[in-house]
Amino acid sequence: MEMALGGEGMLYLYAQDDGVKLLDPRGKLLQEYPVPSWLSGTILAMQVDGEGIVWVEGEGSYPNMPIVEGEPYPVVTIPLGNAIALFDEERQRAEAKPGHLLFSGGTVITHALTGRGPAFLYDQQGHRIYGVSMTEGVIGIDFRANIYTEEYRWRTGAIEFTKRLHKYNPAGQTIASFDLSTSTAEYVQTLVTAEGAVYCLVWNRDMKDAYRVVHWQSK
């Protein structure tokens, strides 16, 4: 089950093999979005952008998957339509983008991991922006299209490691970095807001209900 919120409290729900449903705040069914026939299997993610368009992420069924930048991509992001109208298959294919959905405060930007090498990021038109090292994982994008990544750096022979957060501008240049030291008993969950504030929830596995929140924001 996937869930996303649209404007004015509208709720979008996806249940496997049942398409996406739009409900009003009282639970009334307003719109249904069928899953494209050329998607194989389960929708992996769902997002509603600032224009109210429903985007889903899934795997194309070869050889009928969309072609983006001249190459077929196993994972694609597809616009299904908005609260008023559904997009036909031709438009869905034309606007499909390579890679996985990233929540970015209203815009749709995607990323794709390769087997080796960098993780590629794509803009709203599906054009490659740049790649980041596989030692880093993409965690979010803000309103200004600044990109946030995280990487782990272990201390040899120690029980501590450092989680380093990076902020890049849309051209791929590093703006700032931040180090968060934790122990191996701690689990870190990171959230990036549309305004570019980063919150790290650090929870200790060995101590019940022991947690702390770390906030980081750079100009």
Is the pLDDT at 22 greater than 80, yes or no?
yes
User: In the chain, pLDDT over 90 holds for what percent of residues?
Assistant: 5
| pLDDT level of residue 73 (50, 70, 90 thresholds) | low
Pull the structure tokens for residue 125.
Answer: 């038109």
Whether 163 and 84 map to the same domain: the answer is: no
b/e burial code for range 167-187 (CB count within 10 A of at least 16 → b): bbeeeeeeeeebebebeeebe
- The vertex-22 CA angle with 14 and 144, nearest 5°, equals 85
User: Rounded distance, CA 49 to CA 7, Å?
Assistant: 10
Decide if 114 is inside a domain.
no
167 and 98 both lie in a single domain: no
Quick check: is 176 in a domain? Answer: yes
Residues 175 and 82 in one domain: no
Q: Is 11 in a helix, a strand, or coil?
A: strand
3 & 74 share domain: yes
Closest listed residue to residue 20, CA positions, set 3, 7, 41, 5: 3
* Inter-residue contact 86 to 56 (CB < 8 Å): no
- Total domains present in the chain: 2
Residue 135 has pLDDT above 80, yes or no: no
Residue 105 has what DSSP assignment? Answer: B
Indicate whether 12 pLDDT > 80. yes
Distance CA 13, CA 33 (A): 10
Of residues 106 and 203, more confidence is placed in 203
Summarize the confidence of residues 39-68 as an average pLDDT. 74
Q: Domain containing 7: what range? A: 1-109
pLDDT > 70? residue 41: no
The verdict on 2 and 94 lying in the same domain is: yes
Q: Cα(46)–Cα(139) distance, rounded to whole angstroms?
A: 16
Report pTM. Answer: 0.61
**Please, are residues 196 and 142 in contact by the beta-carbon 8 Å criterion?**
yes
